[in-house]
Structures are given as C-alpha cells and as structure tokens.
Amino acid sequence: MDITERFLKYVSFPTMSDKYSVTCPSTEKQKVLGRYLADELRTIGLADVLMDENGYVSATLPASAGCEGAPIIGLVAHMDTSDEAPDSPIRPRTVEYRGGDIVLNSERGIVMREADYPSLGGYVGKHLIVTDGTTLLGADDKAGVAAIVSAAERLIASDLPHGKVRICFTPDEEIGAGADHFDVPAFGADYAYTVDGGALGELEYECFNAAAASVDFHGVAIHPGSGKGHMKNAALMAAEFVSLLPAAEDPAHTEGYEGFYHLDVIKGDVENALVEYIIRDHDAAKFEERKSVFKAAAEFIDRKYGEGSAVCTVKDSYRNMREIIEQHMYTVDRAVAAMRAEGVEPVITPIRGGTDGARLSYMGLPCPNLCTGGENFHSRFEYLPVESLCKVADILVRLITDAAGYTR
C-alpha cells in the first residue's frame, strides 16, 4: 500500500472527537481506527504493538544492528478529527491542479476559490486530495499518521541504519485531551516529534498558551406582556457579554503572535444561555490578562442582572512549549538538517494552535511539531498535496537515520 492509498484508507474512518464526553476516548469510533492501525502496524513488522483501554496505539521499531546506543526518537500523531466541519461521509478525490478555482461539488455549487485560498497558487502542477465540499478531509492528522506508518514501513524494508523508534497515535487531541493518558515513562523516548503541522516545511516549537472558557447565563422567563420589571433575558445577557470583549481580537482579525478570544458556541433562550470560548496567547502575561478580562466581563453581567445570573468557568488547556524546547534546541536543529537534506527549506513559525507535543514537553518529553503537508485544516476546503505528503515521509526517514550517528 503506498502512502496515498494509506491516507485515503484512514480518512474513510470517521473519528470526530466530542468535547462534551467524559470518556476516553471521547468517541468509540476512534477505537475503530485504532484497531485497524494496530493490525497494520503488526502486519508491516513493528514490535510491541498495543492499543490500550483509552485508545492509544503504540508500537516500536527496534534499532538496527549497531545502532542500539542511538537516541530513541518518538513519533506522535492523533487519530481524531475536529468538530468544526462534518467528518462523514468523506468523499475524497485527487485533482491535478492547473491553477484557478477548484469545483468541489457542482451539484451544490461549492467552489474552492484561489482568491479565497491563495496558498493554492503554490501547487500548480501538483496532485491535490480534496473533499466534495461537504466535509473536512482529515489530513489533520491522518496525513501525519500515514507519513509515520509509511516511514516505518520503509525503514523495516531497508538496510538503512537507525536507532530505536517509538510510535504513538493518540485520541482526542482536537479537544485538548490527547496527552491526558499518555504514559511518557512507558513510551521511553529521549525526545519526540508530533507530525501535526501544515504546509511542507513548517517546523514549530512555539504554541499558544490556551484555555477553555464558558459562561452560563440564567434568566427569568415570563409572558412578554407582563415582562416589565420581571423578565431577565439570558440570551440578551449572552449577547451583551460578547460585546464586552474586544471585537478586533478574534481569529478573523489576528495573526502571528497576536492572541485572541474565539467564540466557539453561543446558544440559548430567555431562561438559559451559554457561550463557549477558547482563549489563546503566546505571551504568558498577556494570556493571564486575557483570562482576567474574560472573568471581569462575566462578573459585570452578574452584578448588573443579579448574583447567579452569569456563572463563569475558565480552565487552562496547555502552555507554550517554547520554554521547554529552548532547553533542547537540538531537537529543532536535527529537524532543520533533515528537511534541508531532503531539499525542503524549513519555515519556523509559531503555531496558532496547539499540539499534543505542548503538553508532552511539560511532561518530560521534548516534542516539537513537524509538517504534514496539509492546508486549510478543520474546513470543508481542506486539501493535501500528494507530493508534500510523500516528502514528509522522506523527512521522517532522514530524521531517524541521521540520528543513528548520535549517542544518547
């Protein structure tokens, strides 16, 4: 099975995670893919293959003869997909891109326009795996999974020297829980890489500080004709709360190192309403300030409409891994060298998001993030250049074989 076939097989499994679930994994369907992957890893010849009760799939590529003293490298990717676009049924197809717009679905008039997605301009002459415009593709992060499995398969079939490699495919990364049950000591790697980034060449060791935040609003319902002095409209409280946060500090108006408040969910009626946000900033002090602003806005609504009218919850999700990775910059330097050896110029940028690697780094496993080649993640307009995916697998092979020359 080549890498493209492998990727297309993986995206046939719906694996959306559920942020409201209290189980691990949050959706049972992630285990369906997990079982398939465990069987495949055994088939290609990996050792110690296991899917645990929480849906984590792990395996070992033993060191080749004479390389037992090389660093143990970990490769990590996640199996779940985002809930920001439907995940089923995914109907991928491959197009040879000639420039201009791509009609994804003629029946529904869904078109990926180059003017809206200028990254397309860099892929003229390439083969792009696209959706039919009704679902996401799942390159985030099944492209990462496919690249890791294909690299491992190539190393098994070759006589290339390599140290021991540990592999783990995690559930629930998209809801911030991918590292919740990751056993770092049992994994046993000296350092690792998540393969969970975007365009070819992206290499990241900075991410947001992140929190999940919500406010529950409680109103009083009464017949509108008798509402004066009695009605408290929870839906209007929610709208007023939203207006208190800086309108220009949302994802649609920020870039680079700029943080944001992202309104992810708003729903309700007169009696009860809810807003759910994610709060992000690369700078730790600004991150704390953002959380304070959010809480202050909720406290204002609560005072204005009466105690208990606005109940605020803020929970940290992960921290910027830069603080940890800067103590282990060889992990970045080795990735840079592997990319350049494969003819890819690294693009080191801050992640405007997060990965399992952020939490793993603070759990004792330094873990920068490598590209998958995908574009427009979490979107019906997600696409994956085949040539980029193949090159990511080449980079992983190079990264692992180069490390055979180092000692632990």
> What's the confidence (pLDDT) of residue 215?
98
In angstroms, the CA 369 to CA 372 distance is 10
- Given a contact cutoff of 8 angstroms between Cβ atoms, the answer to whether 176 and 210 are in contact is yes
Average pLDDT of the residues in 319-328: 97
The verdict on 93 and 240 lying in the same domain is no
| Average pLDDT over every residue of 361-375 | 98
Q: Mean pLDDT for the chain?
A: 97
User: Please, which residues bridge with residue 273 across strands?
Assistant: 217, 268
- The last residue of a domain, from among 318, 333, 359: 318
Task: Count the neighbouring beta carbons within 10 Å of the beta carbon of residue 107.
Answer: 7
By C-alpha distance, which of 138, 147, 194, 185 is closest to 359? 194
Distance (Å, rounded) from C-alpha 303 to C-alpha 398?
A: 60
Q: How many CB atoms lie within 10 A of CB 128?
A: 20
| Amino acid 348: pLDDT | 96
Identify the active-site residue in 140, 173, 190, 356. 173
The predicted pLDDT at position 407 comes to 78
- DSSP code at position 159: -
- Residue 408 included in any domain: no
Is the omega angle on the peptide bond into residue 141 within 30 degrees of 0, that is, cis?
Answer: yes
Flag whether pLDDT at 89 surpasses 90. yes
Q: Please say if the pLDDT value at position 88 is more than 90.
A: yes
Regarding whether 160 and 140 lie in a shared domain, the answer is: yes
Together in a domain, 218 and 143: no
375 has a pLDDT exceeding 80: yes
Same domain, 35 and 149: yes
The pair of three-digit structure tokens given for residue 82, joined into one six-digit string = 């985002």
Instruction: Tell me how far CA of residue 195 lies from CA of 93, 241, 339, in angstroms.
Output: 23, 38, 13
- CATH classification of the domain holding 174: 3.40.630.10
Q: Is the pLDDT of residue 408 over 80?
A: no
**Catalytic residue list contains 173:** yes
Residue 26: domain span = 3-207+320-403
Here the CATH number for the domain that contains residue 231 is 3.30.70.360
Point out the catalytic residue in the list 40, 80, 172, 281: 80
Answer for the pair 408, 365: CB distance below 8 angstroms, yes or no. no
Q: What is the mean pLDDT of residues 42-52?
A: 98
Q: How many domains does the chain have?
A: 2
Q: pLDDT per residue over 196-239, tens digit each?
A: 999 999 999 999 999 999 999 999 999 999 999 999 999 999 99
Task: Give the global pTM.
Answer: 0.91
